[in-house]
Amino acid sequence: MKNSTLKVTPETPEECEEAAIRAVDHNKPDDAMVYSNLAISKAISRLTDAVDQQKR
């Protein structure tokens, strides 16, 4: 990934979304894509966990 500034992995989908916005603001489209994909992945995991808990 060229021009990458990834240093810390955000913990929540919301933090990932904020990191993606900051990456766009700093003209780092590759980082923004990584953070936005990570936000989606973490949101799906959160939903999956909630569904699993509902089944119990």
The pLDDT tens digits for 14-55 are 999 999 999 999 999 999 999 999 999 999 999 999 999 999
Q: Sketch the domain layout of the chain as residue ranges.
A: 13-55
Burial status of residue 31 (CB atoms within 10 A of its CB: 0-12, 13-18, 19 or more): buried
Confidence (pLDDT) at 1: 45
pLDDT over 80 at 2, yes or no: no
E strands within the chain?
none
Q: How far apart are CA 17 and CA 33, in angstroms?
A: 10
For the entire predicted model, the pTM comes to 0.78
Q: How far apart are CA 8 and CA 52, in angstroms?
A: 29
Helix (H) / strand (E) element for 26: namely none
pLDDT over 90 at 8, yes or no: no
Angle at alpha carbon of residue 39, lines to 35 and 51, rounded to 5°: 160
